[in-house]
Amino acid sequence: MKERLQQIREEARKQIGEAGTLDALNDVRVSFLGKKGALTAVLKSMKEVAAEERPRIGQLVNETREEIERLMEDAKGKMEQALREKRLKAEVIDVTLPAKKNQLGHRHPNTIALEEIERIFIGMGYEVVEGPEVEKDYYNFEALNIPADHPAKDEQDTFYVNGDILLRTQTSPVQVRVMEQGKLPIRMIAPGRVFRADEVDATHSPSFHQIEGLVVDKNITFSDLKGTLAQFAKELFGEETKVKFRPHHFPFTEPSAEVDVSCFKCKGSGCRFCKGSGWIEILGCGMVHPHVFEMCGIDPNEYTGFAFGIGLERISLLKYEIDDMRLLYENDVRFLQQF
């Protein structure tokens, strides 16, 4: 029995030494210590051993088992260590590789221009308000003194939702909505999206943005309008900018004007930007028409005011020297990155 145990011990040591994988090692364990294993067989044959011999042989069996288990543990530990090292080597990271650059978002030229315009008017004490993009005919046209047969009301120019509801063609209806509330005086700008049934080209889009302005108070005169817009132009385009008021017509203002600024590119001598004229048109404006005041419940004998409407895209195209409006709507990151 003693020799058999010695034999088992040596055989196990040999096989453990030769086992190349964790699976092979497990097979070795089963063949010695498992239910049908060699050592288990020895235990089963204990009854053949003389009674006085049993404790000694029993102890020997235990020692053999412990030794086999220890050898297995050692071998297993070494194998796992080797596997770990192999994996770590395979997973090495090359820290000298160039990093992937994250594409950062950019503010849109329209957003930059609008924030600049808002900053200027807020500095002059104006409030920023908003109105709905889906608007009633009444606010978009009627209350603004635009007659039923005005060409702007034609379906060729205006997107109608139904007979009475439309996509606003201008931000001017916000004037009416603010005046209707009856809180005077008023100093506000109303930026927002407007819609017109226009074909897309370098200077047109069916959807663009305007910034409406409205001031209503006692004793507001055309001089206030001129001074305000001249100051606005200087802050936006530079101190040396000159403004020119050209008589014009808008149904909701009287008198009305269009405002040109001296070309900030050529300083007035004529270039590609100002199409050789030295001047660039930037907005429409005028004194609020008495009819509009009356429709909003404001007494035109007591109050006067001025209004203006700025095309936002026009300003961002000019300010950032972009020559095609379509670029503003494509949102190509390579384009937006430049601002």
Using CB under 6 A, list all residues that contact ligand DAH: 170, 172, 212, 250, 253, 284-286, 307-309
- Considering the complex, state which of residue 72 and residue 259 has its C-beta at the smaller distance from ligand DAH: 259
Q: What angle do CA 249, 255, 261 make, to 5 degrees?
A: 75
Strand pairing report for 127-128 and 186-195: parallel
- Minimum distance, C-beta of residue 198 to ligand DAH, in the bound complex (Å): 12
Give the separation between CA 239 and CA 257, rounded to whole angstroms.
22
Give just the sign of the alpha carbon dihedral 106, 112, 114, 119.
positive
- Considering the complex, state which of residue 145 and residue 241 has its C-beta at the smaller distance from ligand DAH: 145
- Considering the complex, state which of residue 9 and residue 168 has its C-beta at the smaller distance from ligand DAH: 168
- Considering the complex, state which of residue 65 and residue 196 has its C-beta at the smaller distance from ligand DAH: 196
Q: What residues contact 100, with CB distance under 8 A and at least 6 apart?
A: none
Give the separation between CA 323 and CA 98, rounded to whole angstroms.
36
Q: Is the peptide bond before 191 cis (omega within 30 degrees of 0)?
A: no
- Minimum distance, C-beta of residue 337 to ligand DAH, in the bound complex (Å): 31
- Minimum distance, C-beta of residue 125 to ligand DAH, in the bound complex (Å): 18
- Minimum distance, C-beta of residue 220 to ligand DAH, in the bound complex (Å): 13
Token readout for 60 is 């020997």
- Considering the complex, state which of residue 170 and residue 228 has its C-beta at the smaller distance from ligand DAH: 170
- Considering the complex, state which of residue 278 and residue 309 has its C-beta at the smaller distance from ligand DAH: 309
By three-state DSSP, how is residue 216 classified? strand
- Minimum distance, C-beta of residue 309 to ligand DAH, in the bound complex (Å): 2
* CA distances, 129 to each of 174, 186, 233, 301, 303 (Å): 8, 11, 21, 26, 21
- Minimum distance, C-beta of residue 175 to ligand DAH, in the bound complex (Å): 6
State which residue has the least CB distance to ligand DAH. Answer: 309
